[in-house]
Amino acid sequence: MTQQETERAMPTGVVLATEPMAHDRNRGWELLRQVGPVFQDDLGLYNVTTYEGVKFVQQNPKLFSSQRAFDDQGSVQQIPLAVDPPDHARYRRILDPVFAPREVNKMDVELRRQAAELVDAFAHRGHCDAMNDLAKLFPTQVFLTMFGLPLDDRDKCMEWVRTINAERVLGTDILSDSLVEASNALADYSRQFIRAKREAPGDDLLSRILAFEGEDEWTEDEMMGFVGSFINAGLDTVTSSLGFVFHYLATNPDVRRRVIEEPELVNPIIEEVLRLEPVGPRIPRVTTQDVEVCGYTIPANSMVLMCLGAANRDPERFPNPHEVDVEQANLGHLTFGGGIHRCLGSHLARREMRIVVEEFHRRIPEYELAPGAEPTIKWPAGVVTFETMPLVFPVPAAP
Amino acid sequence: MRVEVTERCTGHGRCYSEVPGLFEDDEAGYGVVLGDGTFGAGDIEAARTAVHGCPENAVRIVP
């Protein structure tokens, strides 16, 4: 860090305005990036906006506690997200193999069948809502499938998660009645199926973890924490990311046609949309001591937010920061986090997205936003997402 | 020359996804080199792609 940077005053009181973020994340994040590498928002929270700054936070879990950042989110500790070293490693040692690509491969056929079924339900109609008819349904089905639970539970699970995510306010401990009610209902549901699986194990992820014995055996609270973490981090996130991918493809017909002709472009396009549209756009940590980030001192016990949408557009890292550019997709992004808390479900999430896009395109290669539709996000929010995305497309001729 | 994956790896999987000719995934989804990681002159660009693409700076080229 240069002397000059060290002496620069940190911007404070920065307001996270709804516009232009709701309509235009390029402009929204660029405005925040230009405020500075580190700034304090109007709630007094510290925001980090550069690629190297965010990586520094991700890679130093002893300076930036995840445990303390997620303390306020209910009584059950989220596992492994809200666990600091050294306990964290014990959980990841067990969970990493469960979420590895080799395990995801085994589910590919079944997940493809489910995605195809969802698309088939509207393919003949000539229109759909990409969020409500597909992107919201599929990740919850994946969760139920992995945990060996009936797909009939899908809609009630979705509703609990929707309420919890919609009403949580980042950086505060405000809990509305409906949030508490939904949290309790989800917790009761989870506790019941954990007990049922312990009694009668099946061929599923949950039974596999419950089968560990000795020092690797998990308590019921630990299982609850893991289920909570999966639901919190693994459902709405994939839903939202799918929304951003379909929005991009619906509004860029030339790219979409190229993707259909060159299917190997699906993955780099997904990576680039993940870079530009991180669905958990500001990931929190709490400092354990005074710490210097990009030349600015952040005091101990402060909440720090990693601004992924800004860091993922850092021109120091990305030659074409504001556009989907398959040529730079191999540079990666920070959307799945990094360091010891690298998103446990990243391999699964990527596969879910690929499966849905491929199965959709197989049936509906030509589509566009319905006339007048202009999907927007709420901002600021813990998880940003389109709530609705009406698409129209030609109906295939009857066979 | 050869590539190696250091203990900084946290299992992003970028190396084996982007450069499957030099890396593969282990049972936990972490990156490991194929064979002893030795590569020929024709693979230098691929090796560099893996180095630059690793979010943890865990991939390196060693003489």
Quote the minimal CA–CA distance from B18 to chain A in Å. Answer: 7
Q: Which of B7, B8, B10 best probes binding to A when mutated, by most A CB atoms within 10 angstroms?
A: B10
Rounded to two decimals, the ipTM of the complex is 0.96
Calpha distance B58→B8 (Å, rounded): 5
**Nearest residue to A25 (alpha-carbon basis) of A328, A378, A357:** A378
- Which H/E stretch holds residue A64? strand A64-65
**Nearest residue to A383 (alpha-carbon basis) of A189, A188, A243, A181:** A243
Q: Omega of the bond prior to A80 within 30 degrees of 0, cis?
A: yes
Q: Determine contact: A330 vs chain B, CB below 8 A.
A: yes
Domains of chain B, start order: 2-50 (3.30.70.20)
Q: What is the CA radius of gyration of chain B?
A: 10
- CA-based end-to-end distance of chain A: 67
Query: B29, A101: Cβ pair inside 8 Å?
Result: yes
Query: A331, B52: Cβ pair inside 8 Å?
Result: yes
Query: B12, A338: Cβ pair inside 8 Å?
Result: yes
The domain made up of A3-392 has a fold known as Cytochrome p450 (1.10.630)
Calpha distance A110→A11 (Å, rounded): 51
- Which H/E stretch holds residue B61? strand B59-62
CA A210, distance to chain mean position in Å, is: 26
Task: Using alpha carbons, list the distances in angstroms from residue A121 to A116, A127, A320.
Answer: 9, 11, 38
Q: What is the CA radius of gyration of chain A?
A: 21
Query: What does DSSP assign to residue A14?
Result: B
Q: Determine contact: A97 vs chain B, CB below 8 A.
A: yes
Of B12, B26, B52, the CB nearest to A342: B12
- Amino acid of residue B61: I
Cβ atoms of A209 and A94 within 8 Å: the answer is yes
Calpha distance A199→A133 (Å, rounded): 35
CB within 8 Å of chain B, chain A residues 6-65: 55, 59
Query: What does DSSP assign to residue A370?
Result: P
Q: What is residue A269's three-state secondary structure?
A: helix
Burial class (CB within 10 angstroms; exposed 0-12, middle 13-18, buried 19+) of A112: middle
Q: Which of B45, B56, B57 best probes binding to A when mutated, by most A CB atoms within 10 angstroms?
A: B56
Averages of pLDDT over each 10 residues, chain A, 399 residues: 60 93 96 97 96 97 94 73 92 94 96 98 97 97 94 94 75 76 93 94 90 90 90 90 98 97 97 97 97 97 98 98 96 96 97 98 97 93 92 82
Q: Which of A52, A59, A353 best probes binding to B when mutated, by most B CB atoms within 10 angstroms?
A: A59
- CA-based end-to-end distance of chain B: 5
Q: Determine contact: B53 vs chain A, CB below 8 A.
A: yes
Cβ atoms of A279 and A384 within 8 Å: the answer is yes
Phi/psi at A47 (5° precision): -115, 135
The residues that bridge with A304 in the sheet, in sequence order, are A46, A285
Q: Determine contact: A334 vs chain B, CB below 8 A.
A: yes
The two structure tokens encoding residue A68: 């303390």
Cβ atoms of A115 and A77 within 8 Å: the answer is no
How many interface pairs between A and B have CB atoms less than 8 angstroms apart? Answer: 52
- Could you tell me which chain A residue has the CA closest to the CA of B29? A100
> What are the contacts of A85-91 at 24+ separation with CB within 8 A?
A85/A61, A85/A340, A88/A61, A88/A340, A88/A341, A89/A340, A90/A216, A91/A226
Of B10, B13, B52, the CB nearest to A101: B13
Q: How confident is the model at residue B43 (pLDDT cuts 50, 70, 90)?
A: very high
Quote the minimal CA–CA distance from A89 to chain B in Å. Answer: 11
Q: What is residue B43's three-state secondary structure?
A: helix
Calpha distance A342→A323 (Å, rounded): 24
Calpha distance B17→B20 (Å, rounded): 6
Query: B28, A342: Cβ pair inside 8 Å?
Result: no
Q: What is residue A86's three-state secondary structure?
A: coil
Q: Determine contact: A267 vs chain B, CB below 8 A.
A: yes
Calpha distance A144→A142 (Å, rounded): 5
Calpha distance A322→A336 (Å, rounded): 19
